[in-house]
Chain A
Amino acid sequence: MLGIEDPQIVAAYLAMIACTAACIIYGVSNWNNGGDEDGS
């Protein structure tokens, strides 16, 4: 993929993108949750 043949390196890049996407999805979907002072 994109000039990289070793599936372990391709997997690393895909996992990096997946983790970043997970951070964005988690953060955005909980954007307004836990907003009271106690955070509960």
Chain B
Amino acid sequence: MAVSATLLGTFTVGYLIVISLLAYLGYRKTKCADDYMVCGRNIHPIILALSYGATFISTSAIVGFGGLAGQLGMGLIWLTVLNIGVGILLAFAVFGKRTRALGKKLGAMTFPDLMGKAYGSGFIRKAGAMIVVVGMPLYASAILIGGARFIESTFGVTYNTALLAFAVVVAIYVVVGGLIAVMYTDALQGSIMAIGMSILLVLTYVKLGGIREAHAALSSMSDLMPEGLAAAGLTGWTSMPSLGSPIWYTLITTIVLGVGIGVIAQPQLVVRFMTVRNDRSLHRAIAVGGPFIMIMTGVAFTVGALTNVYYLRETGSIALTAAGGNVDSIIPNYINAAMPDAFIVIFMLALLSAAMSTLSSLFHTMGTALGHDLWGAKKNVTSTHKSTQAATIVMIVATIGLAYLMPANIIARATAMFMGLCASALLPAFALALYNKSPSALAAKTSIVTGAAVWFAWTAFIHVKESAALGISSFLFGKDALLAMPWQVVDPLVIALPLSTLALVTMKLWESRASLGSAEQEVEPF
């Protein structure tokens, strides 16, 4: 650790004290289940924008994907375009307003609850909740592992201590203060992240001699591209990979489309649209949320790519080589090596904030899915925030257990997998629920089952990065992937989402035609 322990300790203690105060405020304001799950539908638009953004952007987005930009270059900026255009503008203006109005009309308190009530279907509510209860612990434990590894290296404590301390601190304010505490702390954490990333961009350009000079220096490095990456399609750090190359497919389908579109049907983000009183709050949140995301991923991907210039000047090698081949080390190594001590502390708190804000939202979403959507539905009674608190504790314990079992290198993959599954299974049905006056439950069920099944089949048998890791294809058919290139590098979402959409449209049309036919039969006697 490059920075003074006293400085880091002082800032961290101050940070935890403010987090505790905000958690207490959340606890004081939480009087009923409505407060615990949707903040009494009365949250401030700026808090919504910062909370949505801070939940959206985890440590993995900054360190993992920032490091990936150090390896693959500025093509990742296309992901930022989708993060803002789809993840904020489209999500708030098109999906958010309808979600808020429908959620209020139906009295929905979670995403699965909204879907179930919109379709009048217990199956859809439970299917949505099961995706959260079964799939989200993988994502949450990946965030937990990433946070614990970061705390371990920053504060010099053992991994087990870091993991437990991190989980317990977040668990306390989620369980005690509900979504109000989660969103208040998110807003603080989002502010720290925005300050940290803004300073990082400015200091990086200053360090490298200016904007044009830094970019030109990076452009001139293309002949230093490692042979393996060049053979796979990389042409430089300020240019796109060759069209149709394996890296081009991975960049476009998994990173840009997979993560960029996957964000729309994320249960922990959708519920935030139901926390505001009116559309005015959503409009105002868009004006804050767009620039926030640009400052987060736009800066992370730009600085990530530019670390190559810094390392070439300082060590004579590219960033990936200087990081010992570990993409996840590029950003932390660069911060420690190139930035002043005071900024290192701010950036460390920003990363801690990114992990805490995402984890707290996932804990809360899993707790409400189990307590409200599954237990509540089973008992056929209205859940209280006490029962949801109990369910949240159960899900947190399950996540901690899973974190001990999962391999450490699963973080970025688990994130992309959960986002892909949510979008493939839930996005078409979610859109139909919002935009159709009489949405067809049959069409929605067919779409959800199709999306989930195709996503799983493509993940387990075709997309080689996952299918090789899972081993099901190898066990059954003796090979890691059943299709050849380029299908092996096409993300499951790119296949499953169009098919789940097609299933929805087909069933909806079939049902409309069938009901039209029966109506004609009924009027025949006249």
Question: Which A residues are closer than 8 A to B by beta carbons?
Answer: 2-6, 8-9, 12-13, 15-17, 19-20, 22-24, 26-28, 30-40
Contacts and interface: CB of A to CB of B under 8 A. Distances in A.
Contacts of B5: none
Nearest to A15: B81
**Contact residues of B: prevailing secondary structure:** helix
Contact of B215 (A2, A15, A34): A2
Contact of B288 (A15, A27, A30): A27
A27 B284 CA distance: 5
Contact of A37 (B278, B284, B290): B278
Contacts of A26: 89, 93, 283, 286-287
A12 to B, nearest CB: 4
Contacts of B238: 3-6, 9
Contacts of B277: 37, 39
Nearest to A21: B290
A24 B288 CA distance: 7
A16 B89 contact: no
A33 B409 CA distance: 46
A25 B100 CA distance: 22
B46 to A, nearest CB: 11
B445 interface: no
Interface in B71-89: 73-75, 77-78, 80-81, 84-85, 88-89
Interface string B272-290: 0000011110111111111
Given A16-B84, A34-B278, A23 B216 contact: no
Given A20-B290, A27-B286, A9 B77 contact: yes
A16 to B, nearest CB: 5
B221 to A, nearest CB: 12
B101 A5 contact: no
A23 B84 contact: yes
Interface stretch (B186-194, B206-214, B491-499): B206-214
Contact of A23 (B89, B214, B240): B89
Contacts of B286: 23, 26-27
Nearest to B236: A6
A2 B294 contact: no
Contacts of A32: 280
